[in-house]
A and B are shown apart, each in its own frame.
Chain A
Amino acid sequence: MTGSNKTTYVAEAGLVSPSLTWETVVSKNIGLDITTLNQRLDFSFDAFTRDTKDMLTNVTLPELLGTTAPQANAADLRTTGWELSATWHDVIGKDWRYGINLALSDNEAKITKYNNPTGSLNEFYEGQVLGEIWGYVTEGIFQEDSEVAAHADQANLGANWRAGDIMYKDLNGDKKINPGSNTLADPGDRQIIGYSNPHFSYGINPDLSYKNWTLNVFFQGLFRDYLPENGNWKAFYPYNAGHVENYYITESWSEDNRDAYFAAPTIGTNTKKNIHPQSRYVQNGAYIRLKNLTLNYNLPTGWISKIGLSSASVYFAGQNLWEATKMHKPLDPEVEYNNNTGLERNDLTQEYYFQRTFSLGVKVSF
């Protein structure tokens, strides 16, 4: 621009695929539904495979193409999984009723066809299980400068290695730590270090009532791995964003804290040498959380009808009251995945944690 207004321009058109067609989905499932033991037990089980043929997907081509490759019917995907649900309810005597519902499911999706002759890890490849996490294997933290010289050359991952830095494992034994050619055949010193796909998602929902009292509880959880991102401003890794957390100080390596979880601090957000994707920081994202608890008391109708009410109850309810997970604080197993797409992770600095909520209420109807 050398005038004082923006000049009008048009841009070149993108590419379109000459051969787009419809996806084909073939689902097969087998199920079993049982109600038995005098209708006290409901049980249902469903196993399925779903084959998506000619799945419309983004295709990665060499950047020399100069534009985004058009979507193509490039992949076949097979999803296999099962779902199980069981409910038991019964009464004891006249006043006690109880029940429990269990839901459990699992699935895995695998690429069964994709044209990636070089086996580039930058795109899909045949046999890929969705959710694979690739990374280095951490051997430990260098405790002495002398260990650096004795270890495989890590020059490809950063400069000036010294005590307090991460020691990466030389998986292929070539005395050098590097990403190889980033292909299946030559992933360098990286391997699959976890699976971010959820496994064994479950819900447990018991309820119990005695006379006018009802207690309803809901637990949920699953099993998965989670590797925090290492981009600038992602605050899980110490000093990778513009602020300081207490654990950066207490859990970073120093000569007085040799058993630390994190490497010795380096200044600046540009060197990632100690936070390359690696096994040390893969989080066990399995969790169980008490999502909901409700205790309800229905006032006896004999009392309330006298004051013209048809029903009235007092209740206490709580959300997110308790959880158990092995993830490093302050990561939260649900928040990390709880954005719109459900696939990409939020970054730690900008998330809102679940709140523990307690409520006490009265419900009346006339």
Chain B
Amino acid sequence: MKKNILKISFIVFATLLMVSCNDEFLERQPLDAIINETFWNTENDLKVYNNGLYNMAKDDINVTIMMGHHNGFDSQWAGYEYLDGYSDNTAPIEPRGLRFATVRAGIHQVPNDAQDFGWRGWNFLRAINVGMDNYAKAQVTDAVRNKYIGEARLFRGWFYADKVQKFGDVTWVDHELQIDSPELDSPRTPRADVMEKVLLDLNFACDNLPSAQKVEGDPGRFNKWVALAVKSRVCLFEGTWRKYHGVADANKWLTEAASAAKLLIETGPYKLYTSSDLAHAYNFTHRALDLSGNPEVIYWRKYATGVETNHFQSYHAGYVGGATKDAVEDYLCTDGLPISLSPLYKGDEVFENIFENRDPRLRQTILHPEDQPYYTYGNHPYNTYTYPRIRGQVGGRNSTTGYHIIKVYENVAASAAYNVSTSPAITLRLAEAMLNYAEAVAELGTLTQADLDMTVNKLRARVGMPSLMLNPQMDPRYASWGVSSNIVEIRRERRIELFMEGFRYDDLRRWKLGKKLEVKSYGMRWDAANQSRFDPDKKATIKTATLDGVPYLDVYQGTDYANPKFDEAKHYLWPIPINSISQNPALGQNPGWGN
């Protein structure tokens, strides 16, 4: 008996040894986690996945397409209101703004690794493409599916357009890459091919995203109008870039830009914010703490206590530096003429005079000394400190140029404790689409008075400026650009209306006006009278330069940024990081940046 038991045991044991488990048994899906293989089923799955894309897009340093205010410490530089530091609009000098000053001075170098706002964000692209590879699996109708594909493709087209605008050729990827994918070793895809794909993405989004302005209970999703606004921006960049940089097919892109913008303006649910308080009708939107219900804002980013906050207002008021003389002098006089032509211009000898008879947007952008109480600028009672104040002076808020920017200033947030503010960020607003339309048709040569009346003149009417009439007198300062006076005035309107919203540097690049960046950043007139009036103790640390016999603040004099350079053969595009090229030499470097 005992022997038998032993025998049977042995047979059972031997059988166990011979039966190996099959592979399927070993391939187990986890029960406590969401995994790719089992995830894609319902509409909610698609929605929750795409929510991840929105979440990634809020990293402004990595994914720069819908830049808002970065959370916390980095809201001192990573936000759209800082981007004009690249250009002739503002003059930052604090260390946090030096990235902008470096590019603006043309002394940026080939970086070792991908820079902020630069050759990065590829994890975002991958996430989009993982979605694109999987949306088809869900058991939903095509209309539902296409809505989410539309969101992903809008993100992708927008992302690639941003990369192309900065780097030119960029490797096109539209599926999830594996470690041995050939794209990793490929040369970059030519700009024209990438942009064709971008247009397909944006068109798909325009055609498939819902036209409802918003859906209750599901806020913050893209709609058709967002897609059209982005499309008009992207296509205008591409069309004008091609036109002025001598690349084929400019008109195709300008036409696309115009038609997208027109559709949005004429059939979309948005209209300009207007107010009978003309003196604040323009900057109200930019200073508002809540943009819900603002008819002009197409897409914005909300911040909420305990969820996502920023310290943007406090940092910005100090770090933006100030507006430049060049920007301030671009505002028209109330007769619709530039200061070079208008008899109404009172000169800059007395500081307050620069605001006299000028486009009211100037006084809603730059601090007039008497407006300090209205804005509680500097968070102190009137007369505690007088403005303007220059870097080096103690107390209140100071500036690099004397032109303090109040377009976005909101005193409660600007004086709040660290990172508790919920200042919103405007991603897209109707005014830009209007300017995109006017510029596109002007570049196409089909501009009519009606076009101006439905765009530029609406913006002017909001602040009580006279209308722009077709073929105005040429501003002699811009005659050398070689473009029509219509285009000169539309470009001016864009600079004024969109001041400090992050467009200027891109605009100058697409217009091939990089040489404009060789104009130094000057500030206010700093003659003996102004100095003794505003800085009797001689505390200001900014130096002066003499222009036509008159001394003005010269913000960067004596610093590494003193003599801005713009190399036409090099500076329109950013350099590819060295380490990216060392890993894939086929990428190649952009012109002028080679060793």
Residues of chain A having any CB pair with chain B under 8 Å: 1-13, 15, 17, 59-67, 69-70, 72, 118-123, 155-160, 174, 176, 178-183, 188, 266-271
Cβ of B293 < 8 Å from any Cβ of A?
no
- Kindly identify which residue among B125, B127, B302 contacts A1, using a CB–CB cutoff of 8 Å: B302
- Chain A to chain B: the 6 pairs with minimum beta-carbon distance, closest first: A66-B126, A2-B220, A9-B51, A159-B107, A120-B582, A9-B52
The answer on a CB contact under 8 Å between B48 and A8 is yes
The answer on a CB contact under 8 Å between B52 and A10 is yes
* A121 vs B95: C-alpha distance when bound (angstroms): 30
The answer on a CB contact under 8 Å between A61 and B302 is no
Complex contacts, A123 vs chain B, CB 8 Å: 583
Cβ of B16 < 8 Å from any Cβ of A?
no
Complex contacts, A119 vs chain B, CB 8 Å: 582
The answer on a CB contact under 8 Å between B122 and A65 is yes
Complex contacts, B34 vs chain A, CB 8 Å: 10
Q: Mark B294-321, 1 if CB is under 8 A from A, else 0.
A: 0000001111100110000000000000
Among the 9-residue stretches B171-179, B277-285, B440-448, B517-525, the one with 4 or more Cβ atoms under 8 Å from chain A is B171-179
Q: Which residue of B lies closest to A68 (CB)?
A: B123
Given contacts A61-B184, A63-B114, contact A11 B127 (CB under 8 A): yes
Given contacts A4-B304, A270-B98, contact A182 B578 (CB under 8 A): yes
Cβ of B286 < 8 Å from any Cβ of A?
no
Complex contacts, B582 vs chain A, CB 8 Å: 118-122, 181-183
The answer on a CB contact under 8 Å between B584 and A10 is no
* A8 vs B54: C-alpha distance when bound (angstroms): 11
The answer on a CB contact under 8 Å between A269 and B301 is no
* A363 vs B294: C-alpha distance when bound (angstroms): 81
The number of residues on chain B lying at the interface, defined by a beta carbon within 8 Å of a beta carbon of chain A, is: 65
Complex contacts, A5 vs chain B, CB 8 Å: 304, 307
A-B contact pairs, 11 of them (CB 8 A): A4-B302, A6-B308, A7-B51, A9-B55, A12-B131, A60-B583, A61-B179, A63-B114, A118-B583, A122-B583, A266-B560
* A174 vs B595: C-alpha distance when bound (angstroms): 10
Given contacts A2-B301, A12-B130, contact A182 B178 (CB under 8 A): no
Residues of chain B having any CB pair with chain A under 8 Å: 34-36, 39, 48-52, 54-56, 58, 95, 98-99, 102, 105, 107, 109-110, 112, 114, 119-120, 122-127, 129-131, 171, 173, 177-179, 181, 183-185, 219-220, 292, 300-304, 307-308, 559-560, 562, 578-585, 595
Given contacts A7-B51, A12-B131, A66-B125, contact A270 B95 (CB under 8 A): yes
13 new A-B contacts, CB < 8 A, other than A6-B308, A60-B583, A174-B595, are A9-B55, A10-B48, A12-B127, A64-B173, A65-B177, A65-B181, A66-B125, A66-B173, A118-B583, A118-B585, A122-B582, A122-B583, A182-B112
Complex contacts, B105 vs chain A, CB 8 Å: 159
The answer on a CB contact under 8 Å between A268 and B95 is yes
The answer on a CB contact under 8 Å between A4 and B301 is no
The answer on a CB contact under 8 Å between B580 and A62 is yes
Given contacts A1-B220, A17-B179, contact A9 B49 (CB under 8 A): yes
Q: Which residue of B lies closest to A188 (CB)?
A: B595
**Interface of A (DSSP majority class):** loop
Complex contacts, B183 vs chain A, CB 8 Å: 64
Q: From residue B586, how far is it (CB to closest CB) to chain A in Å?
A: 10
Complex contacts, B173 vs chain A, CB 8 Å: 64, 66
The answer on a CB contact under 8 Å between A13 and B36 is yes
* A123 vs B583: C-alpha distance when bound (angstroms): 9
Complex contacts, B595 vs chain A, CB 8 Å: 156, 174, 176, 178, 180-181, 188
Complex contacts, B126 vs chain A, CB 8 Å: 12, 65-67
The answer on a CB contact under 8 Å between A66 and B95 is no
The answer on a CB contact under 8 Å between A181 and B578 is yes
Complex contacts, A182 vs chain B, CB 8 Å: 112, 578-579, 581-582
Complex contacts, B114 vs chain A, CB 8 Å: 63
Q: From residue A214, how far is it (CB to closest CB) to chain B in Å?
A: 56
* A17 vs B178: C-alpha distance when bound (angstroms): 9
The answer on a CB contact under 8 Å between A64 and B177 is yes
- Kindly identify which residue among A4, A7, A63, A121 contacts B54, using a CB–CB cutoff of 8 Å: A7
Q: Which residue of A lies closest to B299 (CB)?
A: A2
Complex contacts, B48 vs chain A, CB 8 Å: 8-10
The answer on a CB contact under 8 Å between A15 and B110 is no
* A2 vs B58: C-alpha distance when bound (angstroms): 12
- Kindly identify which residue among B110, B184, B301, B307 contacts A62, using a CB–CB cutoff of 8 Å: B184
Q: From residue B565, how far is it (CB to closest CB) to chain A in Å?
A: 10
Q: From residue B541, how far is it (CB to closest CB) to chain A in Å?
A: 11
The answer on a CB contact under 8 Å between A1 and B307 is yes
Complex contacts, A183 vs chain B, CB 8 Å: 582
Complex contacts, A11 vs chain B, CB 8 Å: 52, 55-56, 127
- Kindly identify which residue among A69, A122, A271 contacts B579, using a CB–CB cutoff of 8 Å: A122
* A32 vs B195: C-alpha distance when bound (angstroms): 71
Q: Which residue of A lies closest to B126 (CB)?
A: A66
The answer on a CB contact under 8 Å between A120 and B308 is no
The answer on a CB contact under 8 Å between B52 and A1 is no
Complex contacts, B123 vs chain A, CB 8 Å: 66-67
Q: Which residue of A lies closest to B177 (CB)?
A: A65
Q: Which residue of B lies closest to A121 (CB)?
A: B582
Which residue, A64, A70, A266, has most C-beta atoms of chain B within 10 A?
A64
Which residue, A1, A67, A156, has most C-beta atoms of chain B within 10 A?
A1
